[in-house]
Amino acid sequence: MTSLIYPTTNFTRIEQLNIVRGEGIYVFDKSGRRYLEGLAGLWCSALGYGNEELIEAITGQLRQLSYSHMFGGRTHQIGIDLAERLAAMLPISDAKIFLANSGSEANDSMLKMLRYHANVTGEPRRKKIIAFERSYHGVTLASAALTGLPVNHRHFDIPVDALGILRTETPHYYHGHRDGESEAEFAERLVGDVERLILREGPETIAAFIAEPVSGAAGVIVAPDAYYPLLAGVLDEHGIPLWADEVICGFGRTGNDFGSTTVGVQPRLMSLAKQMSSAYVPISAAAIPGPMYEAMVEPSNEAGVFGHGFTYSGHPVACAAALKALEIYQRDGIFAHVASVGAYLQERLLALLEHPLVGEVRGKGLLAAAELVAEKAARKPFPDGRAGAIMVRCCEEQGLLVRAVAGNSIAFCPPLIISREQVDEMIDKFECALSVATDAIRREIPGTVQ
């Protein structure tokens, strides 16, 4: 048995697939079999595998400066350059950038900075965070508290209440709307619930509202068009920042620079990761507005140090990878490419609604999901995640790697460089797998598929 403890894995089902190399949007297992990487690894391999420009940027930086930290006044130019490049891209006034290594660390760091800011500005009660009931924001102790998925809490004693995390309904119209309720009415009702929550708790106690513009691991939920603009209005009215978790949506995934642009809002806080370096080297960022940073400067002087940071914050090799990825996105028109090819993907997915197992398809750009349901007419979900697991297995047999999220929603998130022809290949493989999976689900979960 291996000595590894595997992340986010059923420990009774380890080492099911051994990937040894990648090329473009494909990966290969140890037997040489090729798979279309339908989830870009874990929502992150934006420019695919074997990009020589990224490899050269990384190796060049390794030769010049393989490592230097950023503690105690030390810096390096590649880190400064990345921060300036990000600040110029973000819709945040005078953005200041804290560099970390993962989305979890970025969200954990943001939560700590919000608490720090509240304490040093004379608002020690402003610590609560509103998050969706179904949400994913990471797995550190603090970011797992922001996360709203039971599997990420079970057995861990996550300090949700101690950290002041408040929950509000996920804006998923398909499962959440009442009979006869339009999408606009659904959005108004849910935002009204948020405002009532704010007033009940006290606006002066709430530090931020965190949300992915389009969720990832929580099920690829796309809110009704009216939801986020309405929400932003309520938050502004009560002086509460919108904190956009752009870990998955950022850098073109939804067909725009950021998911916030796609859903029509301008956040005051942002978390970034994954596509920031196309996953070639781990890196992430927490971006805050200039005035928030300025309020923390003198308190750090009084304390002697701002007591938060990681050994690898601003790792020069990771910064070099991120700078090169951002250059490629802009130079090659990747965001516009995603808008075009993503529209085609969404069109192809709509045809899947004719299948009796598919209850809903949803998405933006090159981020999408097809939800499998037990009874289509009643929008009845399966009792557990077995249907999704069967579908993932059948896709793998067809040479397609996807992931079941939120139980039985099959997520699509291919590399941003995918072509229309490769979209056809991906969906054709999925359709073949769906036919096989339907029979398998009827056998293994009797009485569920009509």
One pLDDT digit (tens) per residue for the chain, 450 residues? 689 999 999 999 999 999 999 999 999 999 999 999 999 999 999 999 999 999 999 999 999 999 999 999 999 999 999 999 999 999 998 999 999 999 999 999 999 999 999 999 999 999 999 999 999 999 999 999 999 999 999 999 999 999 999 999 999 999 999 999 999 999 999 999 999 999 999 999 999 999 999 999 999 999 999 999 999 999 999 999 999 999 999 999 999 999 999 999 999 999 999 999 999 999 999 999 999 999 999 999 999 999 999 999 999 999 999 999 999 999 999 999 999 999 999 999 999 999 999 999 999 999 999 999 999 999 999 999 999 999 999 999 999 999 999 999 999 999 999 999 999 999 999 999 999 999 999 888 876 665
Which H helix or E strand runs over 237?
A: helix 227-237
Residues of the chain with CATH 3.40.640.10: 54-331
Distance CA 268, CA 235 (A): 11
SS (H, E, C) 7-61: CCCCCCCCCCCCEEEEEECEEEECCCCEEEECCHHHHCCCCCECCHHHHHHHHHH
Which pair of structure tokens corresponds to residue 22?
Answer: 């990648």
Distance CA 235, CA 207 (A): 11
Which pair of structure tokens corresponds to residue 385?
Answer: 């995640």
Q: Is the pTM of this model over 0.95?
A: yes
Which H helix or E strand runs over 245?
A: strand 242-245
Helices (H), 311-376: 316-331, 334-350
Q: What was the pLDDT predicted at 450? A: 59
The CATH classification number of 54-331 equals: 3.40.640.10
Residues paired with 285 in a beta bridge: 99, 272
Q: Which CATH class is domain 333-444?
A: alpha beta
359 contacts 174 by C-beta, under 8 angstroms: yes
Residues of the chain with CATH 3.90.1150.10: 333-444
Q: What was the pLDDT predicted at 446? A: 74
Q: What was the pLDDT predicted at 448? A: 67
Distance CA 134, CA 155 (A): 18
Q: What was the pLDDT predicted at 1? A: 67
Locus of tokens 């249907």: 387
Q: What was the pLDDT predicted at 425? A: 98
Residue 242: C-alpha distances to residues 149, 179, 344 (Å): 21, 30, 31
Q: What was the pLDDT predicted at 116? A: 98
Q: What was the pLDDT predicted at 447? A: 65
